[in-house]
Amino acid sequence: MKRLFIVTETGGDLMPADVERYGIKVVPMHVQMEGETRDDGSFSPVEIFESYERTKVLPKTSATNPHEYRTAFDEILAENPDAVIVHMAYSAITTASYHNALLASEEAENIIHIDTKQVTGGQRAIVLKMAQFMEENPDATAQQIRDEAAKWVDKARFVFFPGDLSYLKAGGRVSNAAYLVASILSLKPLIEMLDGKLVGTKKYRGSDGKIYVQLLNEFLTANKLEKESFFMVYSEGLDAKLKETLENEAAKYGYDNVLWVPTGCVISTHCGPGAFGVGGFIE
């Protein structure tokens, strides 16, 4: 009988094949849009972009709540009373999800909480590493699980460009003045995941086609990554020809058969259409 189970959030942008392969339980984060709260993953991110275009009001996102975590934990334990649940959390600094999961498991001794310090494709990559580890080590202790997770959290690298700066402005993440300057000068901020924080580390100037390729080359030159864990992230609206160009650039560094991770509703709300990111684990 299976002993170790993973619970994670929709903001990690796992694919259906990931969930089915490892039996991962995914709990929803949420999007508030036009007076309605909807579960991330229950509708297309295109609806978010269409809503913002129509209303000029940016949808808001919210964390998985304690009741949803408690329900997920109870469902697993009802069928597997001796199970050990490993909660692989969306970056704890960026949302209340991790804290809410702690509240939901206050009286439980068989639930381990891991802060992945990542979002979207970065979180997904760590979740899959841990799913593989637990499948190969079904009798792993809590400390072994924490140590293994800490290793991959430390090795993870992920950077991305938002697709549309107006989404950052509407969400209050950049000021009107900064947005105006960036628009006039064709600047776009690079966002890096650093110790769980979304940090703007550099500004690039030029068209998306130019700066996305530039970022990819700089990132792959600076980081020697595991080939099997390399991924690129995109939100709906990224040009198909540009995706092909990026795949060809990655192939020059030996990264063939690129895995593209599409952003779900929560991530798309923050980055807008046409976003691009790249990540993996350093060797």
Residue 165: band (very low, low, confident or very high) from pLDDT cuts 50, 70, 90: low
Q: Rg of the chain over CA atoms, in angstroms?
A: 19
pTM of the model: 0.93
pLDDT at 54: 94
In this structure, the answer to whether residues 58 and 100 fall within a common structural domain is yes
Alpha carbon distance, N-terminus to C-terminus of the chain: 34
Alpha-helical runs (H) found in 9-163 = 16-22, 45-55, 66-79, 97-104, 120-136, 142-155
Which is higher by pLDDT, 60 or 164? 60
Token digits of residue 165:
């700066």
Residues 10 and 130 in one domain: yes
148 & 54 share domain: yes
CA 6 to chain centre: 16
* Residues of the domain holding 199: 157-281
Q: Do residue 148 and residue 161 come from a single domain? A: no
Q: What is the pLDDT of residue 175?
A: 40
Total structural domains within the chain? 2
- Amino acid at residue number 82: D
